[in-house]
Amino acid sequence: MDKWRKELRFDGRVVMLGFGSVGQGVLPLLLRHIELRPDQIIIIKPHAEGLQAAQEYGVRNIVTRITKDNYREVLEPHLSHGDFLLNLSVDVSSIELITMCQERGALYLDTCIEPWEGAYTDTSTPLAQRTNYALRESALALRRPGQQPTAVLTHGANPGLVSHFVKQALLNIARDTGETSTTPPTTREGWARLAEQLGVCVIHIAERDTQVSNERKRPGEFVNTWSVDAFVDEGTQPAELGWGTHERHFPPDGARHEAGCLASIYLRRPGAATRVRTWTPLAGPIHGFLITHGESISIADHFTLGDPARPAYRPTVHYAYHPCDDAVLSLHELAGLNWHVQKYKRVLKEDITEGRDELGVLLMGHAKGAYWYGSQLTIGEARELCPYNSATTLQVTAPVMAAMVWAMKNPTRGVVEPDDLPHDEMVSLCSPYLGNVVGVYSEWTPLVDRGWLFEEQLDRADPWQFKNFRVD
């Protein structure tokens, strides 16, 4: 007997655009949890490599590269009312795809809001327009009054699952401090007021990936545990962070947006060249890269109280990512090449020998100091739980599956973000695939052991200032 429950039956077609490490890993989850025949699925990808999972499950594929000129010609014959476009591609405009799905009555989900190829590094475009802030504003502008086909934006691990982790972490802190009711809020404002009442002023998406392969990185090669192209794209975008109301030292290289939700700022430097101090339970204090991510903006926006231009409350929110060691070396080499990507690229999959991905949210400033809540998943556990996955990809593919199930059950919700979805349902669907899900309190602050060897410019009156987290 199959121990995995089918969440629903889906009668439409599923078009998977892109079939890299995440696509390969999510396919068995879709067939496991959705009553769906392989002949209802079609994969469209730019090259014929990496089709073993599709062949094993009997899923057909089309090998073609999607461009501005051909995306409608290729996709429209496969998308009708009630079908589902799962966009896992890189360098294909999410805005164009969502618009097409709205026209055709098809459901949609992606893990990142992507522009067309070359947009991230188009120096003729103002820096503010090369941000995830600008991409998010463009996607949210597609919302219309009344019912629309559901289009779920950015629902992987992060962005995605971490928005639900934040809400669960807030409930756990409220329970443990006894400062407020642990009844979950039911509105956006309710969640923001809970965070404010608890005193949360900083939220990190704090991640440490320790997965390794027997074959180490070679000179001229970029190695990662997930898409190299996607990582380079986001790493060469400006660093971005939600900007909290407690902050009193605006970064000298920072810039504000002039329109939109106004919840975040950006730095005039790439995220792959910007490091911050953070903490995870197993790794302890670490330096992570302040890579731009959609959740840095959406969480800060959803947790804003008052006038967005002069908010009464908003936390600082950003990603603090320590990728696998070979990826760190790859970023170091990429910086030396002045952000021209290496000739060779390799995604670690079956060759991973050991390690884990420790991914969670670190909420700081409340009565108990700091609280990390998230997933500690080893490569061995990931392989046992679902084929074609590493620890990193399974933390992405489970939330993709969960949000697809939600969209299929709620097909007329229009354009939504992870923060709009029910956090308890998402965590429940994902938890069997996340390994050890833990919440850990810590006395760590970014001021611990600082300034003993060399003098540093710190704000010792408030440890939670961004200038204290930033690595000069």
Q: Which of 143-152, 177-186, 312-321 has the lowest mean pLDDT?
A: 177-186
Q: Residue 108 in contact with residue 150, Cβ under 8 Å? A: yes
Q: Decide: helix, strand or coil at residue 421.
A: coil
Residue 183's pLDDT band (boundaries 50, 70, 90)?
confident
Whether residue 373 has pLDDT greater than 70: yes
- Locate the DSSP E strands across 290-340: 316-322
Residue 85's pLDDT band (boundaries 50, 70, 90)?
very high
Residue 1's pLDDT band (boundaries 50, 70, 90)?
very low
pTM exceeding 0.85: yes
80, 295, 360 from 60: Cα distances, Å: 18, 34, 36
The mean predicted confidence, pLDDT, of the chain is: 97
Give the pLDDT confidence of 286-323 residue by residue, as tens digits.
999 999 999 999 999 999 999 999 999 999 999 999 99
Phi first, then psi: give them for residue 438, nearest 5 degrees.
Answer: -135, 160
Cα–Cα distance measured from residue 271 to residue 288, given in angstroms and rounded to the nearest whole number: 10
Span 149-176, average pLDDT: 98
Burial class for 241, CB neighbours closer than 10 Å (0-12, 13-18, 19+): buried
Locate all alpha helices (DSSP H) within 34-131, ordered by sequence.
Answer: 52-57, 71-75, 94-104
| Nearest of 390, 387, 409 to residue 34 by alpha carbon | 409
Partners of 106 in beta bridges: none
Q: Decide: helix, strand or coil at residue 94.
A: helix
Span 81-97, average pLDDT: 98
Span 25-45, average pLDDT: 98
pLDDT value of position 180:
64
Residue 179's pLDDT band (boundaries 50, 70, 90)?
confident
The share of the chain scoring above pLDDT 90, in percent, equals: 97
Residue 16's pLDDT band (boundaries 50, 70, 90)?
very high
Q: Residue 249 in contact with residue 469, Cβ under 8 Å? A: no
Whether residue 42 has pLDDT greater than 60: yes
Measured in Å, how far apart are the chain's first and last C-alpha atoms?
56
Give the pLDDT confidence of 438-453 residue by residue, as tens digits.
999 999 999 999 999 9
Give the pLDDT confidence of 404-438 residue by residue, as tens digits.
999 999 999 999 999 999 999 999 999 999 999 99
Cα–Cα distance measured from residue 418 to residue 296, given in angstroms and rounded to the nearest whole number: 12
Cα–Cα distance measured from residue 438 to residue 111, given in angstroms and rounded to the nearest whole number: 24
Residue 2's pLDDT band (boundaries 50, 70, 90)?
low
Give the pLDDT confidence of 108-131 residue by residue, as tens digits.
999 999 999 999 999 999 999 999
Give the pLDDT confidence of 320-352 residue by residue, as tens digits.
999 999 999 999 999 999 999 999 999 999 999
Cα–Cα distance measured from residue 61 to residue 8, given in angstroms and rounded to the nearest whole number: 24
Whether residue 182 has pLDDT greater than 70: no
Give 20's contacts (C-beta < 8 A, 6+ positions apart): 45, 50, 88, 90, 227, 347
